[in-house]
Amino acid sequence: MTKTAKKNKQKLARPTLSLCMIVKNEEMYLPTALESIKDIVNEMIVVDTGSTDRTVEIAQKNGAHVFHFEWCDDFSRARNYSLDHAAGDWILSLDADERIPRSELAKIRQAIYYSEIAAVSMIQRIPQANENLVPFVDSEYCRLFRNHPEIRYQGRIHEQILPAIQKLNGKVLQSDIVIDHWAYGATAEKKKKRAQRNMRLLLKDADENPCDPFICYNLGMTFRELANNTKAIFWLQKAIENDDKKIKREIIANSHLALSQLFLQANHFGLAESHANWAFLINSRNLISLYIQATISVCRKDYQQAVERLENLIRLSAKENIVERKIPARQLWNDLAGCRAAAGDWQGAEIALSMSSDKSEQEYDSRFKVAISEIKPFMTLPEASV
C-alpha cells in the first residue's frame, strides 16, 4: 500500500469515543448527562463509588457499562479506573451534573479527527445566582483527550489530566466547546459538606506537596467558600509565592483576583487594588478585575475615578473577542449613572441610565431617582468568579 493510500485510509477511519464518568448518588442529574452525549459516543463507562440511590440502575438503563470502585478518598484513582475500562480512541470525561448542549456535539466529533493533537480543552459554564454580577462563569478544562496508557489523572481532589499530557509533549487544542454544569445549584448545606470534604483531601495533598501552587490555590478557594478568610488569604498568597511558571496563568490571575475581593471585603483598599491590577495584567480577558477597581474608587468616594474606570470597562466589554466573563451592559451603565450623579454630572448620569433601561418611562424615572441618590459602597461580585 502506498503512503498516499495509507493516509487516505487513516482519514476515512472514524475515531471511536468513550464517555468516562465517576458517580455517587446522582440519580437526579445522571439521566440528563447521559442523554446529552449518547448520540456521539461509542461507549459509556460509568464507575460508581458507592451509590445508595438509583444511580446504577439509571446508568444501566441508558446503556452504560457500570463498574464499581471502593472509595479511597482519591478522585484521580477513581477516574483512572474508568479510563482503564475504556476502549475508545478518545476519552470524554464528564461529571454527572454536566451536560453537552446539542449545538456542541458536532464540534466534539470534528475535534477528534485532528491527528496532530493529544487533547482538547473545553469550556465549563457554571450559571450564577440572580444576585451575582455575571450570569455565568466560564472555566477552561481539558476534558477530551486520547486514550493513552500514560495519560492519567493526578491529585486526590481537583484532579488534573493536563500534566500527564504535557509530560508526553502532547498538543492541546483550545476550543469553544461548552459543557453546562449544574451542581452549583445545590443547597447551601450540600455546598458546605462538599467544601469540607475538599478541604480535608486538599490538606492531605498539601502535606505531600506543600509548594504546589495548584493545591495552594484550591485550598485558598475552599477556605474562602467556608468563610475562613484568614486561611483563604494565606493559601492564595502561597499559590502566588510558589508560582513555578508552569501552572496555567489563569490560576495565578485568579489567585490575585480572589485576594483582591477578600481584601476589598476587609476594607484594605490598597491591597485590593494591587491584586486587582496584577489579575488584569496576567489575564486581561477577565474584566472582573476592572470592576473591582471601580468598586474600590466608589469605596474611597472618588467618583470621578470610578466613572473613568467604568467607562473604560464598558469600552472593553463591547469587544466580544477579548471578554472572558461578560458583565451585563445594563449593570455597567446603571453603575455608571450612579457614579456620574455622585460626581455631579447629572446630564451624563441621565444618558447612562437611558443606556441601561429598556423598560417603561415610569420605571426609568424611578430607577433614575434611585441611581442618583444611592451609590452602593460594595458592588455585588460573583460567588464563583474564580
Judge if 37 and 175 occupy the same domain.
yes
Residues 210, 180: one domain? no
378 assigned to some structural domain? no
In a domain, 243, yes or no: yes
Q: Whole-number mean pLDDT of the chain?
A: 88
- Predicted pLDDT at 151: 98
Q: Is residue 35 part of a domain?
A: yes
Confidence label for 383 from pLDDT (cuts 50, 70 and 90): very low
CATH code for the domain of 355: 1.25.40.10
Residue 126: per-residue pLDDT: 84
**Predicted confidence (pLDDT) at residue 376 exceeds the cutoff of 80:** no
Burial class (CB in 10 A: 0-12, 13-18, 19+), 105: middle
Clarify whether residues 193 and 180 are in a common domain. Answer: no
Three-class DSSP category at 90? strand
Q: Does a structural domain hold residue 380?
A: no
CATH code of the domain containing 40: 3.90.550.10
Residue 44 scores a pLDDT above 70: yes
* 165 and 196 inside one domain: no
Give the angle 167-71-35 at the CA atoms, nearest 5°.
Answer: 80
> What pLDDT sits at residue 220?
98
- Is 363 a domain residue? yes
> What would the pLDDT profile of 330-346 be if each residue is shown by its tens digit?
889 999 999 999 999 99
Q: Are 260 and 316 within one domain?
A: yes
| 216 and 247 housed in the same domain | yes
Structural domain contains residue 299: yes
| Residue 296 near residue 259, CB atoms below 8 Å | no
Q: Above 70 in pLDDT, residue 384?
A: no
Residue 8 in any domain: the answer is no
Q: Considering the entire predicted model, what is its pTM?
A: 0.81
Of 147, 163, 185, the last residue of a domain is 185
Spatial distance between the Cα atoms of 102 and 104, rounded to a whole number of angstroms: 5
Do 364 and 259 fall into the same domain? yes
Last residue of a domain, one of 157, 185, 213: 185
Closest CA to 220 of 245, 198, 191: 198
Nearest-angstrom CA–CA distance, 19 and 88? 9
Radius of gyration of the chain (CA): 24
Residues 56 and 77 in one domain: yes
Instruction: State whether 348 and 361 are in the same domain.
Output: yes
- DSSP letter for each residue of 15-37: --EEEEEEESS-TTTHHHHHHHH
Is the per-residue pLDDT at 65 higher than 90?
yes
Do 150 and 217 reside in the same domain of the chain? Answer: no
Domain boundary among 168, 185, 202: 185
Look at residue 45 in the predicted model and tell me its pLDDT: 99
pLDDT > 90? residue 74:
yes
**With 60 as the cut, is the pLDDT of residue 1 above it?**
no
Give the model confidence (pLDDT) of 169-227 as tens digits.
999 999 999 999 975 556 788 889 989 999 999 999 999 999 999 999 999 999 999 99
Question: Do 196 and 181 lie in a common domain?
Answer: no
pLDDT surpassing 60 at residue 367: no
Number of domains in the chain: 2
Torsion of CA 373, 374, 375, 379, to 10 degrees: -150
Question: Is residue 381, in this structure, part of any structural domain at all?
Answer: no
Residues 27 and 96 in one domain: yes
Range of the domain at 217: 188-373
The residue among 93, 243, 253, 81 whose CA lies nearest residue 162 is 93
- What is the distance between the alpha carbons of residues 317 and 323, in angstroms, rounded to a whole number? 6
Q: φ, ψ for residue 116 (rounded to 5)?
A: -90, 0
Q: Is the pLDDT of residue 361 over 80?
A: no
The answer to whether residues 342 and 297 touch, using CB atoms and an 8 Å cutoff, is no
Write out pLDDT tens, residues 243-297.
988 898 999 999 999 999 999 999 999 999 999 999 999 999 889 999 999 999 9
